[in-house]
Structure 1
Amino acid sequence: MDKQMDFVLRTIEERGVKFVRLWFTDVIGTLKSVSIAPAEVEGAFSEGIGFDGSAIEGLTRSHESDLLAHPEPSTFQVLPWRGTIDPAAGMFCEIRTPDGQPAVSDPRNVLKRSLENAADAGFSFYIHPEIEFYLLKSRQFGQEGPVPVDSAGYFDNVPGGTAHDFRRSAVRMLEDLGISVEYSHHEGGPGQNEIDLRYADALTMADNIMTFRTVVKEVAIEQGVHATFMPKPFADQPGSGMHTHMSLFEGDGNAFYEEGAEYQLSQVGRQFVAGLLTHAREIAGVTNQFTNSYKRLWGGDEAPSYVTWGHTNRSALVRVPRYKPGKGSSARIEHRGIDSAANPYLAYALMLAAGLKGIQEGYELPAEAADNVWALNERERRALGYKALPTSLDESVAAMEDSELVAETLGETVFSYVLANKREEFQRYRHQITPFELNTQMNIV
């Protein structure tokens, strides 16, 4: 038996684990779970656990519905929020067909394929996300809408406050799960918080993000509040992004680092950024997958609205952070467009694919945006060649449906489902009569 499998079985016995949750996501990024008894785990490793894939959003069609969830022992973790009464553990799964092939519709498998393409080119891909979210007093909203748990702002210290206690409990729980946290602090909006996870390879990080969201939700319930990763829950407050720092490594060397280059950014790094910019509009339907995502991108504050890059420019879509002298391994680029509601498996697969395309095709990096892009007028932005990101989900879908890069990266099944799902969402959104329309038009027309 594999050493990792043996470790899982021994830990289950030694810790008295009563339930083992097998985790995977649908195409939108909703975490799915099935619990099995400890006695079934060894069989799950060898044979998988069967389920009806047609009942899960986007996983398969009804006439080919049988799928198997195969737990990956390297992702095993005892779930600390379950306590000592009937302890539970969890593992992420690879979804396979009955003949043992990876399911083409499994989002985790989509990311694996992108990582294999990177490996074929000699690269490994590392991620460090800054994850923002809001804490609300209740999940039930009255006429006044959602109510944040506090009125604090950026980096505010609120001793004894809900957010302070929340972050302390959440960080401790994440560390118990082996997920390293780099920073945590109050963000700019009332009730808004940010927790930054330490660098990891992209697949591990995508798993960690899914676990992170579960931890945040569980701690919120425990403390009598509600946590949301909705991109823009308040019209007059900042949205919640998931700024993502990325690096490519060739062996032990950071492929983005070149001593003496501008910003110490190598040619590979410049081409990767050029790829992200070239394909930014095409992949926005996944990095910003909901109608509400575009309220964040076009709602002001620090969300990027235009396809630009810069060094210390926080209005740019892609930023090249300051170089730390003597730390070439820390060279990285930051994508500021992706929001906290994205499916990390699909979003990171596309971001990687876009960057690799830039390297493979030798894309030229356009001129840096040195000015505050938001402060420019439309004529100035046009003259500088700054293209706008999509202003709506409908515009994103239109850009995505003609994209060979998105179709090839996601695969036909996932690509078709994402397009259909997003079209349906926008149709439902467009049919709504909003309070804005009623308040501004009911009595004047």
Structure 2
Amino acid sequence: MFNSLVEAKRFIEEKRIQMVDFMMIDLNGRWRHLTIPVDRFTEDTFKNGIGFDGSNYGFAPVEKSDMVFIPDLSTSYVDPFMEIPTLAMIGDVYVIDVPNNRPFDQDPRNVAKHAENYLMESGIADEMKIGPEYEFHVFDHVSYSTAPNESSYYIDTEQAEWNKEDRDFNLGYKMPHKGGYHMAPPQDVLYDFRSRVCMLMEKQGIRVKYHHHEVGGPGQLEIEVEFGSVTEMADKTMMTKYLIKNEAIAEGKTATFMPKPIFDEAGNGMHVHMQLFKGGEPLFYDKDGYSQLSQEALYFMGGILRHIRALCAFTNPSTNSFKRLVPGYEAPVTIGFATANRSSVIRVPAYAKDPDKKRFEIRNPDGTCNPYYAFSAILMAGCDGIKNKIDPVAEGYGPYDINLYNLTEEEKKKIKSLPRTLDEALDALEEDHAFLTEGGVFPEKLIEIWLINKRAETKKHSLMPTPMEFDMYYDL
């Protein structure tokens, strides 16, 4: 938004801004923030930064936890949800050093910037452009408990099929089970909500492609956006989640990007479309190639497919992620590519025919990821594919232009599978991460911390009895 502090100060005065809010991204991909009165916003803020405890962000041990963040003026925006006029911007994390502080190599934004620099320095391409699809649920109520003597959750939404027999207040129009795709009002009671969110996104420079109701009947929605660079789209992913969640709360509802909040309904993915450009020219197009894809596109795809089990540790980093990656819900389970095939982990959209639009999408990521790490990891895997000329056809990854959910048991054995649990994904990352550390993009320390933290999550999850286990085993 701004190129200098002078521009920012002029805007602050014109709009009568009273507070400046700094937003940072922690290790797991959650927003953190700190706010100062506007008269404290000076040159010193950019020279020396603002100190904070990095250990609470998951970045540093307690004994070495002093860090600073320095705001990025280009990310500035007026927060639409604050009562007091507030200018907000993202802060980059720095390690305290003498004579000058230095960027922290594990900071999510710094990893993304390093990945983009690696791409340019490699000579492969000048830019990777990506376009995420945001799937999420909006509910009217959510409650949950994980006490020692109780484990339960309860969610509800007015439009869900399970409310069709409600005799207290019911107008009869309910969204069918797994039948919400592109449904219209009156079943689609969240149409105006999506439009309001999209207008908020547009005001923040996030260009919306379209919005619609998704397959999941109980309040599953999708917003798709136009393409941008890796760091830019990671910023915009974080902003989109912020706008959706806060607008939902403002309207007395609640939004979640949890991959599988409802049993036996479609889950929430975050498909990522991608392209490479060099000298302004698209690298993924070849009119004579498979589905009009160039050899570079196939190599890039080959790298992703070879490393995809390890990628899942960053693109699907929750135990709940793998409850979505099961057959029958348009989520991938096998490792392969195809055209116009939503059962494939990599899909080539048949409708993208022009050279500058030729692309493919990876369909396994979900909204629990830290987008900076996830997008960067995908980029690094693709670069490894081009550097080592990993041909997905020669590697046996397809093309599989068939329904991969309907394979026989014998056919399934011939095709590699995505991890079935987060533990499997973490094992794969532990064994296969050299492609991530190329050029120092992903520090070894970051991968070490990620593995430790995520294994602690899986252990915590595995120790907790579930209501389903009571249903299945209580009477044995």
Q: TM-score, normalised by structure 1?
A: 0.94
Equivalent residue letter for 1:376: L
1:115 is aligned to 2:111 = no
Q: Which moved more, 1:249-258 or 1:259-268?
A: 259-268
Helix, strand or coil for the counterpart of 2:420?
A: coil
Instruction: Answer yes or no: is 1:140 the counterpart of 2:143.
Output: yes
Match of 2:403 in 1: 372
Do the aligned partners of 2:18 and 2:38 also contact (CA within 8 Å) in 1?
A: yes
Residue 118 of structure 2 is aligned to residue 88 of structure 1: no
Question: Cα deviation per residue 1:4-57 (whole Å; 9 max; x = unaligned)?
Answer: 332222111211111221111111101111112222323322221111112222
Gaps of 5+ in 1: none
Deviation at 1:222, TM superposition (A): 0.9
Contact 1:407 1:415 in 2 (8 A): no
Distance 2:294 2:276 in 1: 11
Note the 1:270-281 alignment, pairs <5 A.
Answer: 270-281=298-309
Q: Aligned residue for 2:208?
A: 181
When residues 282 and 144 of structure 1 are mapped into structure 2, their CA distance, relative to the original with a 3 A threshold, is closer
What do residues 53-110 of structure 1 show as CA deviations (whole Å, max 9, x unaligned)? 12222x112232111111111111111233xx52112111211111221102201111
Distance 2:437 2:156 in 1: 40
Q: Are 1:223 and 2:251 matched, yes or no?
A: yes
Superposed CA deviations along residues 142-161 of structure 1, whole A, max 9, x for unmatched, are: 96721134233110112495
1:322 to 333, 345, 350: 350
Cα offsets for 1:243-287 (capped at 9, x unmatched): 110111102111111233222211110100001100000111110
Aligned equivalents of 2:235, 2:115: Cα separation in 1: 15
Match in the other structure for 2:435: 405
Letter in 1 for 2:72: E
Q: Give the C-alpha shift of residue 112 in structure 1.
A: 1.1
**What residue is the counterpart of 2:229 in the other structure?**
201
Question: Whole-Å Cα distance in 1 between the matches of residues 187 and 307 of structure 2?
Answer: 45
Q: Does 1:6 find its partner at 2:9?
A: no
Is the 8 Å Cα contact of residues 284 and 396 (structure 1) preserved in structure 2? yes
TM-score by length of 2: 0.88
RMSD: 1.7
Count of residues in correspondence between the two structures: 437
In 2: Cα distance, 1:159 partner to 1:219 partner: 21
* Matching residue within 319, 338, 341 for 2:368: 341
Question: Match for residue 61 of structure 2?
Answer: 61
Aligned match of 1:45? 46
What's the counterpart of residue 452 of structure 2? 420
Output the CA distance in 2 between the equivalents of 1:191 and 1:323.
28
Task: Using the aligned pairs only, state the percent identity.
Answer: 34
- Confirm whether residue 391 of structure 1 aligns to residue 392 of structure 2: no
In the alignment, is the contact (CA less than 8 A) between 2:142 and 2:153 conserved in 1?
Answer: no
Residue 316 of structure 2 is aligned with which of 288, 292, 297?
A: 288
| 1:301 maps to 2:329 | yes
Partners of 1:6 and 1:322 in 2: CA distance: 48
Alpha carbons of 1:28 and 1:296: their partners in 2 closer, same or farther (altered >3 Å)?
Answer: same
Mapped contact 2:352–2:359 kept (Cα < 8 A):
no
Distance 1:112-1:3 versus aligned 2 partners, 3 A rule: closer
| Counterpart secondary structure, 1:208 | helix
Tell me the amino acid that sits aligned with residue 398 of structure 1.
D
Aligned-partner Cα distance in 2 for 1:201–1:4:
22
Cα contact 1:291–1:392 (8 A) shared by 2: yes
Q: Counterpart of 1:414 in structure 2: which amino acid?
A: L
Return the alpha-carbon distance in structure 2 between the equivalents of residues 154 and 438 of structure 1: 34
* 1:214 corresponds to 2:223: no
Using the alignment, how far apart are the partners of 1:401 and 1:304 within structure 2? Answer: 23
